[in-house]
Structure formats: C-alpha cells, structure tokens
Amino acid sequence: MLHAHRPFNLDSFPAGSSAPGESRAIPTRQTPRSPARSGRRGYVVVATSIGLLFLLGVAGLAVDIGRMYITKNEAQAYVDSASLNAAMQLDGTSAGITRATNASGHDTDKWRFDTTPFSSVTTTFGTASTGPFTATPPNPPTNYNYVRVVAVVNLPMGRRLGDLDRIVSCFGRAEAGAR
C-alpha cells in the first residue's frame, strides 16, 4: 500500500532528535580509569590460577593418601594370612620352621589391587608374643610357637615429592601351640 507523499518539515521533530531516514551517531560516555583500578587488571586471572594450582595439589595429595591407606590395608591382609599359614606349620621341629617360612612366602595375596606380589617379606619366630623374634631359631626350635611376618611396601610417591619416599610398613603375628 502506497502512502501519499507529504512534504518534509524539520519543525515537526523535537529538538535533538533525528528525522526519519537520517542517521545520527549516539555519543558514548567513556569513564576514565582510576589509577587504583588500572593496577588491578589481570588480578582475577592470577588469583584463579594460584587457586587452581592449590586445589590440584590438594586433590593429588588426597589421591596419594588414599592410595597409601589402600596399600596399608592390602599389606595388613597379606601379613595376617601369611602369619596364620606359617603358624599352622609350626610343630617344634626344624622341618616345621622350614615349612612355616615357605608357607609365609608363598601366600597368594598381592597388593596394587591384587596385581603385584609382595617382594619384601620377612618371617621371624619367637618363644613369646612380645619377642624377641629371630629368623633362624636354634635346632631344635623348642617352644618357638610364635611367628611374625613383616611386609614392607615402598610407594612411588617420591617421584612427585623429590626424595621423600613414603614407606608403608605393617606386620601381623599369629600364635600356634605345639601338639
């Protein structure tokens, strides 16, 4: 639909407005930066980066501590089982000591979620539960009715912490009576 052409009159528009079809630039107001604010540019990025590094460090430490507790529990389960197996072999003879040593060393429990066998296992024998314990009791091993198995696991946390190696160590003890 076509409109009739009317003559254009500038007086019909209020002062400061533009006529239809006429473009007019809108002035922008720029606020000058204060000296205190210009010194803080980029602070948020720096603070976020430092905070993120701190949070990642804490998360890594939490994973390592959790891993340490899991390894300690796996080692404790191993030494409990190995010491009970060894104690069942004790019969007051040197052959019983040999069987007990072999039984403790051939336990099938492993660590690292049951994937890695324990490599540092020590089996010692004693006449009392408080010790002293020895790896080579006299022949005949009279009254050597106590066995202690110690498994030591070195966790590879030292690669991340420099020379600080974490050593998870635990031991189990079992008692057997001579028949």
Please write the tens of the pLDDT for every residue from 16-38. 555 566 666 666 677 666 665 55
2 is a domain residue: no
Domain that holds residue 64: 42-175
Total structural domains within the chain: 1
pLDDT-derived band at 161, boundaries 50, 70, 90: low
Q: Which tops the pLDDT comparison, 149 or 10?
A: 149
Q: Which tops the pLDDT comparison, 50 or 28?
A: 50
99 is a domain residue: yes
Mark out the alpha helices in 115-161 (DSSP H runs).
158-161
Segment 57-84 mean pLDDT:
87
For residue 127, give the nearest of 150, 99, 98, 97 by alpha carbon. Answer: 97
119 is a domain residue: yes
- pTM recorded for the entire structure: 0.65
- Could you give phi then psi for residue 154, rounded to 5 degrees? -100, 115
Query: What pLDDT is attached to residue 60?
Result: 86
170 is a domain residue: yes
Which residues are 60's β-sheet partners?
Answer: none
21 is a domain residue: no
Residue 78: CB partners within 8 Å, gap ≥ 6? 107, 109, 110, 111, 118, 151
